[in-house]
A and B are shown apart, each in its own frame.
Chain A
Amino acid sequence: MIEQNIEIPVDLPMKFIFDILTPQPHFINKQAQMTTQRSASQDEDLLLQDFSRNVTTKSWILFSGNAAVVSAIPLWLFWRIHQMDFSSYFIHFIIGTIVSTYFLNLAYQNMKFILKHKIAQKREEAVNREISKIFANDKNANKKDKDDRVLTRKNEVADFEATTFSIFYNNSFYLVCLIVLSFFVLKNFSPTVNYLFSVGLSTLVVFLFSTGQK
């Protein structure tokens, strides 16, 4: 197990977006809620959420927004450097942007799912310490509540970290592929071929590698 700090460092703007989309209940309320309204379905939900491949709406919005922005960045590059003006190439640009947004979105989700479990395993000890510290002052807490709390917190932390890391890694991979393809491999081809193949191939490569386990 890797030694971790108790305070999990988070990226401030991303946390802001995350917190807006999911208002976090105050800890005391949540604890009261958990002790008075425990049911089997809640346990199932928690477990399903942990293992489900489906992303929540807020994650989907985050991923789509990021994918759209990252797909739009190369447009500036092609416009300025390869001299492809918008009026004659806007169809290519639109198709390329839509295709790459869609596949980048899928790549983000794939990688997030793969990473989430591994991160959860690695962060388990730190989360345990954090929750133990909080529960140390409370005499009424029983083990089940503590375990539930640990599970929720672990899920939340792993979810956030997996999301942000997936976005970071896929973005950097996509941009490296794009630059290499567009300015080195396809340098002497016509602008249309250059744009379509560099965007298409880098999207494909990112998508394929996102499903890999190693």
Chain B
Amino acid sequence: YSIIYFVSGENCESPQFTVNSYSTKDARLTAESAAQLEISVKCKNGKQPGTLYADINGHVIPCAQSVSSPGKYYVSVATSTHKHLAKGSTIVKLYDDEAYSTLRKARTDDAIKAVKPFGQVELSHPGASYGPWLPSEFFAVIVFGLIWWTAYRERSKILA
């Protein structure tokens, strides 16, 4: 007799991704830029992919998973300078186990590009700012100084 396995609904189909991200905002007080993504995956059949791998900034790294809330995957990246974390939207490709093993087996660049990812999300980085060019007390001094100087001129005119 033959045993036929029906493997149905084992894999995640038509996944929906929601992304919550945080990235470094202050460039003056920090030396490196970092970003963290929290990816929530919702599948049509209710299953979750086992392990997710993210291709972020050229590195393919496994995502951490939350024990208390299944379906949330975390990946983070840190760059050595602020310029290396690109401002705006960066595409992050996600691979599940199958896709990842296919990726590992691929040897040429074309083959790597041909691997179909599990999905992709966007990392939007608003940019790390260096803050205002001039401190606010500078403007306060200028404004009050002008007012005082007007008053001083008036006083000189009166006392002349």
B156 contacts across to A, CB distance below 8 A: 214
Determine whether B147 belongs to the interface, using a CB cutoff of 8 Å to chain A.
yes
Q: B140 to nearest A CB, angstroms?
A: 6
A168 contacts across to B, CB distance below 8 A: 151
Determine whether B152 belongs to the interface, using a CB cutoff of 8 Å to chain A.
yes
Main SS at interface, chain A = helix
Chain A 179-191 near chain B by CB (<8 Å), digits 1 or 0 = 1100110000000
A213 contacts across to B, CB distance below 8 A: 159
A184 with B152: in contact, given A119-B158, A176-B145, A214-B159 (CB under 8 Å)? no
A179 with B159: in contact, given A172-B151, A173-B151, A184-B137 (CB under 8 Å)? no
Among candidates A115, A173, A183, A184, residue contacting B158 with C-beta atoms closer than 8 Å: A115
A183 with B137: in contact, given A118-B159, A172-B144, A175-B144 (CB under 8 Å)? yes
- Which residues of chain A from 165 to 205 have any CB-CB distance to chain B below 8 Å in the complex? 165, 168-169, 172-173, 175-176, 179-180, 183-184
The CA-CA distance from A183 to B134 in the complex, in Å, is 14
The CA-CA distance from A169 to B155 in the complex, in Å, is 8
The CA-CA distance from A35 to B128 in the complex, in Å, is 80
CB of A180 within 8 A of CB of B141, answer: yes
The CA-CA distance from A184 to B141 in the complex, in Å, is 10
Determine whether A146 belongs to the interface, using a CB cutoff of 8 Å to chain B.
no
A176 with B158: in contact, given A168-B151, A169-B151, A169-B152 (CB under 8 Å)? no
A119 contacts across to B, CB distance below 8 A: 158
B159 contacts across to A, CB distance below 8 A: 114-115, 118, 213-214
Chain A interface residues toward B at CB < 8 A: 114-115, 118-119, 122, 165, 168-169, 172-173, 175-176, 179-180, 183-184, 213-214
- The 8 tightest CB contacts between A and B, nearest first, are A183-B137, A172-B148, A169-B151, A176-B148, A176-B144, A172-B147, A172-B151, A118-B158
